[in-house]
Structure formats: structure tokens, C-alpha cells
Amino acid sequence: MMYTGLIEKYRNKLGISKDTKIISLGEGNTPLIKLNNSIKDINKKIDVYIKYEGLNPTGSFKDRGMTMAVTKAVETGSKAIICASTGNTSASAAAYAARAGIKCFVLIPEGKITIGKMSQAMIHGATIMQINGNFDDGMRMVKEVAEKAKVSIVNSINPYRLQGQKTAAFEIIEELGCSPDYHALPVGNAGNISAYWMGYSEYYKDNKTDKKPKMLGYQASGSAPFVSGEIIKNPETIATAIRIGNPQSWDLAQKTKKQSNGWFDSFSDQEIINIQKVLAKEEGIFCEPSSAISLAGVIKDIQNNKIADNSKVVCTLTGHGLKDPDTVIKYHNKNMIKVNPIAQEVKQAILNNM
Ligand code: AN7
């Protein structure tokens, strides 16, 4: 049977009626890939899997929530959607609005979204408002303005977003035959970690798994409100997707941590850059810097015995590496050499680098 997106597949778990017109780009159904090389030096019997969400239609997990948010917006007669974004939400909103034939307005922090994400909002025809401020300022504006203007907010404060995103947990349980023991994610607004917890909890209730994972949320050191326990006024990190100081799902995230016996931790920009390279070079998996943080966390927590032997771990890689080519070229350009179009020179270069 043809796969036509996650609403069609999980319609009864999402409360979407038979008559609702679905706005979909075939999102979801992403691969779960077992790591082979990057963790082999850790002498423990732990299976680590990557949920590769960069393979969604616009290159990030946001599409899972956006198909729901836009389907519902259209169903209720909305002609326009709006969001604040560090980049991926705006890319996804722009694409799904185009698909639906409605308007899209996005507020982005000037100079702080990656070139891939910016190009997506542009090509799909969103109206882009660059603001002299950060994501948190944009979010404040969206909340203030949307009350008066006739636009639907499609940030993760829109409850349909998390409904759509919870389906990633369903897919993992279906593939593994049960929940993993630990699930690691990068955390910004904390919508996604909360959505996974909802998904795991629902399938646990439905007896589709006999356990639930501990939820592990990792942040960038300069932007880690869940680690410091308070709002960060001026968040700063190379991982611009998670450059968020005032997370919108604060309470849900705390509940998720408590109920699952999980934890939060943070990593420096250099650690993030290093682990992005490990995934790409040793596993063939290219994700954006923010996403790589989930594996940084898992490796650290395996080494310090917080993650138990004989367990199964899933890391969500939230966005594709092609979203942010600038960072790659800035930090990972060491393997480029210049040669003249002379066979001897090319041969020599091969020999030197075997
Ligand atoms: C690649 O696009 O908030 O903790 O405005 O793009 O659910 O916020 C992006 C967030 C992780 C954090 N990884 O997820 C936005 C935005 C990537 C992301 C997150 C984001 P949440």
C-alpha cells in the first residue's frame, strides 16, 4: 500500500475524522539506523539507534507537527498561518502553507538562521520578517499579534503540532517491538521531547510496549535553560536551531523528565561540532549541529554509567545536515586539496591520502 503520510496512518490516534482534507507531503516513516562504528570503542553491550528525522519532506521533524497544524488550520477556515522560528519551523510552515494554498508569515532572528532554512522559506513564498532580536522575541510578537490578526499560530504551542510529532515514538515502538530504554533529543522549546513522551505513554497504555524510556534532553551550553533552571536572556550557540532561552513547553518538559526519570545536560559548541563530524565520517549520517547533540549526550552518559549496560538507546537526529552547509565549510574543510589537471598530480594525491 502507498504511504501517504502520518495522519492517514495514525488517523485514529490523532483524532482526525474521515472527512477532513489532509494536507500532507508524505512526512514520517523515517529510518531507524543502528550505529555500527562510532560507539564500538565503548566496551559495553548497548545498542544505539538513530531516528533520522532529517529525511522528512523539508528536512526536519517539524513536518510531523506541521501536517497536523496546517490540516487543522485549513479545516477551521484559516487562510493564513504564522510562526516565530529558529529556521526549521519556518521552512516547514512555508512548505505546508504552499501545499494548502494559504498564506504563511514567519518571524526569524536576523542573521541567526542557516542558509538552507532561509532558502526554504523564500522558495515556498512565505512572507519573511527578519527581526532585530532572537527567537524568544519573535515568539512574544507572534502571541501578541495572532490574537488580533486572522492567522493561526503553528508554533508548538499549537497542540496539534505535538500530536503529530508523537507519531515518531509510535514508529520506533513498531520497529523495535518495544520502547527503547533511553531516548535522547536536542531540546529547544521542548515540544519534541514532550511529544515523544506522549507517544510512548499512549502506546504503553495501549499495551503496545511493556516499558517506557527515560527521556534525555540535551542543550547547548550557551542556551541551556533546563540545565540552569531559569530563562536565559541572551542565548548563544552555533546550534542556531536550539538558540532558545525561554522554552515554550517548560512545564511539559519538567513533567517528562520527572515521569520518565530522565535528565537534562548541556554541551559546548566545540563538542557539538565534533560529534556532528563523527556521525558523518564514521556512520555516513549527516545531521545539522543541533541534532548531533543527542549523540554527544548519549556517549557521555554511557561513559559515566548513567546509561545502563544491555540497554537500547534511540537518538533523534532532528534536522538534515544540508540545512547548514556554512558551518560544515567553516569547521570541517581540512580534507580539501588543490591539484592541477595532470594525471601524475592526481595519482600522487590519491597515494598521499590512502
Ligand atoms: C533541528 O524551528 O524551534 O525542543 O523554530 O530545528 O521541540 O523546540 C526548532 C527546534 C531540535 C528543538 N532540533 O526542538 C524552530 C525551532 C532542530 C530544531 C529543535 C529544533 P524543540
Q: What is the DSSP string of 305-329?
A: TSSPTT-EEEEEE-BBGGG-HHHHH
* Stretch (H or E) spanning 183: strand 182-186
Alpha-carbon separation of residue 239 from 116, 138, 156, 176, 332 (angstroms): 14, 18, 19, 30, 15
Ligand 1 neighbour 266 (Cβ under 6 A): no
How many Å lie between the centroid of ligand 1 and the Cα of residue 28? 16
Adjacency order of strands within the sheet including 312-317 = 32-34, 47-52, 312-317, 182-186, 214-220, 263-267
Per-residue CA distances from 303 to 53, 81, 300 (Å): 26, 45, 5
Report which protein residue has its CA nearest ligand 1's atom 14.
188
Q: Please tell me the distance between residue 345's alpha carbon and the centre of ligand 1 in angstroms.
A: 45
Ligand 1 center to 129 CA (angstroms): 19
Nearest C-alpha to atom 20 of ligand 1 is from which residue?
Answer: 241
Any ligand 1 atom below 6 A from CB of 24: no
Q: Cα(289)–Cα(34) distance, rounded to whole angstroms? A: 20
DSSP assignment of 103-131, as one string? EEEEEEETT-S-HHHHHHHHHTTPEEEEE
Top-confidence residue, 333 or 64:
64
Query: Residue 85: which of 165, 189, 199 has the closest Cα?
Result: 189
Q: Please tell me if the CB atom of residue 190 comes closer than 6 angstroms to any atom of ligand 1.
A: yes
CA 57 – CA 61 distance, rounded (Å): 9
Structure confidence by residue, pLDDT tens digits, 18-58: 999 999 999 999 999 999 999 888 888 999 999 999 999 99
Q: pLDDT (tens digit, 9 = 90+) per residue, 299-354?
A: 999 999 999 999 999 999 999 999 999 999 999 998 899 999 999 999 999 999 99
Distance CA 52, CA 194 (A): 18
Query: Contact 252/194 with Cβ under 8 angstroms?
Result: yes
Closest residue CA from atom 11 of ligand 1: 186
Ligand 1 pocket, residue 240 CB under 6 Å: no
> What percent of the chain lies above the pLDDT cut of 90?
96
C-beta of 168 in contact with ligand 1 (< 6 A): no
